[in-house]
């Protein structure tokens, strides 16, 4: 089997490395930066959106680990991205050091850095699976998953800025259903997802052209589509909202909705 380094294609942009670039990281290649820059030329606030999305992740993990009743101590973070500040296990284990986290990503570079940098508290555990969200059965069948997470207890599935890489109307619903099927009631899914709902008609047209030409790989979904994706689950307050407003009051100086362009929601498996 080829090593992770051998399987990294530096000539093709990858979402995790592009996101890393927007967050100010150094773990990206020229192809990633070129892709990110092209998106930013059309949508100059893409970097702001990436940073706002990261902050939403922190609030979601905080809610799950501190405020949920009962509090969550197990997390399945899919689409991990390259390590930066306040990763899922860091937020969770600050609140509850015994928290257990399994990270999943399909980029060998992400997994290489994660194994080196995302170290657990002594009381808790972290593990890493190289797999693709679009193949949920591979994630669920990985022996490391059941070794670290107890599926007899609630698990929070973190889908932060990743479900929008599943293109096509209705295509993400079977994936989410497959992930949640083996989990016990009281488990959660936390979701952030790109949308064009807040864009002007002109910006929406520009984005559609980029998507159709292959210059963007992010498939946007409307609020109605997010509702369909979470059908059968119980939404946590405040429901499906602009990402910067999830469990947070609007503040002076906040970016406009059309500058962040993502929905956020959390739902409970009844």
- The residues spanned by each domain of the chain are 4-268
pLDDT confidence of residue 3: 40
pLDDT confidence of residue 211: 92
Better-scored residue on pLDDT, 232 or 251: 232
Q: Are 10 and 223 in contact (CB under 8 A)?
A: no
Rounded to two decimals, the pTM is 0.86
**111: closest CA among 137, 74, 155, 142?**
142
CATH number of this structure's domain 4-268, picked from the four choices 3.50.50.60, 3.40.50.150, 3.40.50.720, 3.30.420.40: 3.40.50.150
What mean pLDDT comes out for the span 199-219? 92
Distance CA 234, CA 180 (A): 13
What mean pLDDT comes out for the span 50-64? 94
Distance CA 123, CA 109 (A): 27
């Amino acid at each position: 089997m080829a090593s992770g380094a051998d399987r990294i294609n530096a000539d093709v942009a990858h979402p995790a490395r592009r996101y890393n670039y927007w967050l100010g990281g150094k773990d990206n290649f020229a192809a990633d930066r070129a892709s990110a820059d092209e998106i930013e030329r059309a949508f100059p606030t893409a970097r702001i959106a990436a940073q706002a999305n990261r902050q939403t992740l922190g609030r979601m993990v905080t809610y799950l680990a501190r405020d949920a009743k009962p509090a969550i101590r197990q997390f399945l973070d899919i689409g991990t991205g390259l390590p930066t500040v306040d990763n899922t296990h860091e937020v969770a284990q600050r609140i509850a050091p015994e928290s257990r986290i399994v990270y999943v990503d399909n980029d060998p570079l992400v997994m290489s850095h994660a194994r080196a940098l995302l170290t657990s508290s002594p009381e808790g555990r972290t593990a890493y699976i190289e797999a693709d969200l679009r193949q949920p059965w591979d994630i669920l069948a990985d022996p490391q998953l059941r070794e670290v997470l107890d599926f007899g207890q609630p698990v929070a599935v973190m889908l932060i800025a990743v479900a929008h890489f599943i293109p096509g109307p209705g295509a993400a619903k079977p994936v989410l259903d497959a992930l949640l099927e083996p989990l016990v009631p009281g488990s959660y899914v936390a979701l952030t997802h790109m949308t064009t709902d807040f864009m002007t008609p002109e910006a929406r047209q520009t984005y559609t052209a980029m998507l159709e030409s292959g210059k963007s790989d992010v498939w946007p979904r409307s609020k109605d589509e997010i509702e369909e994706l979470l059908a059968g689950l119980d939404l946590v307050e405040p429901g499906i909202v602009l990402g910067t407003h999830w469990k947070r009051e609007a503040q002076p100086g906040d970016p406009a909705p059309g500058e962040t362009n993502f929905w956020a929601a959390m739902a409970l498996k009844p």
